[in-house]
Amino acid sequence: MTEEKIYKSLIETYNKGIEAKDPKMIREFLGDKSVDELSAMPQYYLEILQLRAGAFSLFGELIEAGEEYRKGYNSCSKNGKWVYGLNWALQYMAEFSFKRGDEKIHEAMTKGVEVLNQAILDLPEDKYHGFYYLSLINVKAFMLMASGEKEEAIKAYSDCKFTPVPIPEYNDKESLQILFANYTKGIAVAIELKDYDLLMNLLKVISVDDQILQSEGMLFRLFYETLVSAFDMRAEFITEFNAMFKIKEALESLTPNFSKFLSLIGEQDFDKLDLFFQENYQR
């Protein structure tokens, strides 16, 4: 059987299993060793490995999911390794949905940080380097914080450049998607650790109007206006924010401040949000 036929066969089995929500069929997909025959065709091999990782995650088998990603890392192009590594690390975020306790979350986050450290080393130098570096750091800092390494989470930002996204890039829905798709994690770190400077630096990057941040209004109002503008312009940003909101119960013991913030946002209680920011994030 040719690589293309193997690939199509695996895709068909996977899609049928997912569409039917059939655990037996998904296990059949995972048990198919023909994936190894695709190693000479990176475009097929990497896609199937990532589907296999996602399938293992459905069963809560994150170690196995990570192993699938590990198999493919060296098959990535030089410029693609960091994106693949980011996706690999993000796979460990699934642990928040399983409700298996903080210890399991700590274990998953630690593995995620290890992967991100390599992805950072493989980040290529180009005009977007600073933005994509910040993307990786936002995820790394969140994982460090969730695993109890709060000081390390803040230190992770030590060599970040908080450059505002240029308006043309902001308006281009295809540009800097990875940045916006992982930005809420950085904001979570600033809110949880009550770091005013980090919060303002992160807002500066995604603000479309610097005058908003320089005004004398309530901090929450400045924060909220900046986020709403970003939500309106970048769908991937609000998608991640909503995803974080869905796991807020799992975050309560690990990130109580951020979890409280999410609850207040859910209640749309702006008076309490004003007070929350006044008490915790003013200079």
Percent of the chain whose predicted confidence (pLDDT) is above 90: 77
pLDDT digits (tens, 9 = 90+) for 196-234: 999 999 999 998 866 555 555 578 888 888 888 899 999
Rounded average pLDDT over 160-164: 94
Q: Which residues neighbour 74 within 8 Å (Cβ) at sequence distance 6 or greater?
A: none
> Are 92 and 62 in contact, with CB atoms under 8 Å apart?
yes
- pLDDT category at 77 given cuts 50, 70, 90 is very high
Rounded average pLDDT over 105-134: 95
- pLDDT category at 107 given cuts 50, 70, 90 is very high
Q: Is the pLDDT of residue 269 over 60?
A: yes
Rounded average pLDDT over 99-106: 90
Q: Which residues neighbour 38 within 8 Å (Cβ) at sequence distance 6 or greater?
A: 3, 6, 7, 44, 45, 48
pLDDT digits (tens, 9 = 90+) for 49-59: 999 999 999 99
99 sits in the region (left: phi over 0; alpha: psi -120 to 50; else beta) called left
Q: Is the pLDDT of residue 10 over 80?
A: yes
pLDDT of residue 273: 87
- Output DSSP code: residue 166: P
For the chain, what is the mean pLDDT? 92
Reading the block at residue 95, the tokens are 């642990």
Rounded average pLDDT over 246-252: 90
